[in-house]
Structure 1
């Protein structure tokens, strides 16, 4: 087996080094995303260096972030949910491929398998009908004898139990605001996902990176709640997994840090 390296860049962005390739999931690499601001140290040039494959889970602006995509080399291969390729090309992204749940593609020695997600696929949210739309999805990345599941944004769905043996599951445990809308997992539901997936390692993502500008410093209960949510969801997720007696090892990793994978998974 070949080595696996993971770095939690922040939000849903993970840098993965596997089988001679560098993959980024849902890259958010700037300090602002519309009305949201990054509350952790900024992403660095090293986070995007040598990337040759980008996997986009759905079209929401905190997952398909056009200014971040434009920071990457123009010849990076970008995989977008099926039906959104023409829209992404119209925004200046040159090398675009489409993938849908149940489909797969190869990239060198990597195999990418599309997985369904329980989440809105519309660019502007579930209540609107105008604008680009494509089915939200996750990805299983295979290479060098390793299998990693990048869930994207999703709520629980029964088919999680059928994804097969996984070395690592990258699971969302919150979001960027004080509440969660439909199609998301909180720490308890993410722990239930672990029970279905049974990965060797789970890494909580989609937490602690973005917030509405000024809210974390706001006085009173709203600011206190936001500060709590920027820190506690991954810890609560790890506790829920442990309380369930799961053998899965949870690796809480702060945005901007390397995931300290155990030797049995890493090499």
Structure 2
């Protein structure tokens, strides 16, 4: 039987393999980003060049140009609509020519996989300093099974239509000692998202990696705790799901439902 495997490299960076095709999500392959430092885990060590890179939205901790440049090979870049011009300006026309722009509701094919862009409840701007905006999104990857990568999102009603899924990669935290009420999931809301999407397996992401410099002692539970808290809440809210809290660089392999 075909298998799906996912390796978590910290924050929202995962390596997803399905049906002989490999995808890299929201690569952040550096030790520093603005005022943030990689406080746990090593930089991603990719086993090979991916077939495609999925970029969920424009925020710099998800759409990081130096990290895209560090990805080996010439992967297809699946990005929010309008972002190819940003890639061309930052990395050159060769990178922009590899971009496939999507908005939620659209899809593309990578090898044996179909990649669907799906909605996300999250701010779509690059940042307060930039006028660049696009619609934030997640992805459902269909191959041997169905995997949802949430990107960064809050709860929203339409996610109940995503399932059933074999695997959900769910953001459950952030990179600082506070987490905005809108546009993000904490551990409990992440468990509610798992209940809504009806996934057989879940891996928590988007926590436990980057932290503001000089703030290591401020609310440390928001750094290290979300993964285990997500598993605890999921046992109550989505008792039929299996949750695996991965260490950085650890891989989960599952057999999708027939």
Q: TM-score, normalised by structure 2?
A: 0.93
Q: Do 2:194 and 2:238's aligned partners in 1 also have CA atoms closer than 8 Å?
A: no
SS in 2 for 1:215: coil
2:107 to 92, 104, 119: 104
SS in 1 for 2:158: helix
2:157 aligns with: 158
1:163 CA drift (Å): 1.1
What is the distance in 2 between the residues matched to 1:3 and 1:203? 16
2:19 aligns with: 19
2:89 pairs with 1:90:
yes
1:2 CA drift (Å): 2.0
1:243 to 232, 236, 245: 236
Runs of 5+ consecutive residues of structure 1 not aligned to the other structure: 217-222
1:147 aligns with: 146
Q: Do 1:115 and 1:140's aligned partners in 2 also have CA atoms closer than 8 Å?
A: yes
Which whole-Å deviations, capped at 9, do the CAs of 1:81-118 have from their partners, x for residues lacking one?
11212112221134111011000111121100010000
1:234 CA drift (Å): 1.1
1:245 CA drift (Å): 5.2
1:176 aligns with: 175
SS in 1 for 2:122: coil
1:220 aligns with: none
2:113 pairs with 1:132:
no
Alignment of 1:62-73 (within 5 A): 62-73=61-72
Runs of 5+ consecutive residues of structure 2 not aligned to the other structure: none
Q: Do 1:208 and 1:255's aligned partners in 2 also have CA atoms closer than 8 Å?
A: no
Alignment of 1:13-92 (within 5 A): 13-44=13-44, 46-47=45-46, 49-73=48-72, 75-92=74-91
What is the distance in 2 between the residues matched to 1:190 and 1:248? 13
1:198 aligns with: 198
CA-based RMSD: 1.8
1:228 to 221, 228, 251: 221
1:21 CA drift (Å): 1.6
Q: TM-score, normalised by structure 1?
A: 0.90
**Structure 1 stretch 112-121 or stretch 1-10: which is displaced more?**
1-10
1:219 aligns with: none
What is the distance in 2 between the residues matched to 1:134 and 1:191? 27
Aligned positions, number: 253
SS in 2 for 1:43: coil
